[in-house]
Structure 1
């Protein structure tokens, strides 16, 4: 998946873009890890009971320039993109995804495009 300026998570109807007010220190505060190349990556479990269980994951990677990103939900090993809207326990995964996205919006990392 290529880095883009706006996108939808597979199966979702909402479109997101990076906030114009995004800051590197905010990314670090939220839990993003900075790579050697300067990219910021956040990986969160979509299991509401335990973040340590092997389950579906939410991944968000932002380029070093803070201009483009990729965001997806993946299988437990992180290699395959998954449509959580068609998964077993979809309601709990969607609820957890919505919580994560809401937090990213509140911290001015993502913006929803209507």
Structure 2
């Protein structure tokens, strides 16, 4: 999956881009870690009310221009559309809370239609 200027979580109608104000220290202060390739990655283990495990992965390229967002199963192999899961209200609330925090801290900007 290539980096894009704008990215969204599969199934959600929110679109994000890296904030022009974001700096490497901004990402590190918000839980991102450096990868071997020099990119920045945020991984958050999550589970829904039926105790299924998921991982929210957000990767920003080393130039702070591109972005990848995905939700995968607990093993990290298969992409999951969290909006189609049963009892997903708490999971969606957690994801929205995380991204609201990223927007508030100038990591991302939300693209409005």
1:80 aligned partner? 78
TM-score (structure 1 length as normaliser): 0.89
Question: CA distance change for structure 1 residues 87 and 54 in 2, over 3 Å: closer, same or farther?
Answer: closer
Q: Secondary structure of 2:53's match?
A: coil
The answer as to whether partners of 1:46 and 1:97 remain within 8 angstroms in 2 is no
Q: Secondary structure of 1:46's match?
A: strand
| Inter-partner Cα distance in structure 2 for 1:106 and 1:78 | 28
1:21-40 matched pairs, under 5 angstroms: 21-40=21-40
Q: How many residues align?
A: 111
The answer as to whether partners of 1:47 and 1:92 remain within 8 angstroms in 2 is no
| Inter-partner Cα distance in structure 2 for 1:70 and 1:35 | 14
Which ranges in structure 2 are unaligned for 5 or more consecutive residues?
A: none
* CA RMSD, Structure 1 to Structure 2 (Å): 1.7
| Inter-partner Cα distance in structure 1 for 2:26 and 2:19 | 12
| Inter-partner Cα distance in structure 2 for 1:110 and 1:91 | 23
| Inter-partner Cα distance in structure 2 for 1:32 and 1:15 | 19
User: Structure 1 or 2: larger strand share?
Assistant: 2
Which ranges in structure 1 are unaligned for 5 or more consecutive residues?
A: none
| Inter-partner Cα distance in structure 1 for 2:30 and 2:100 | 12
Q: Secondary structure of 2:47's match?
A: coil
Q: Secondary structure of 2:28's match?
A: helix
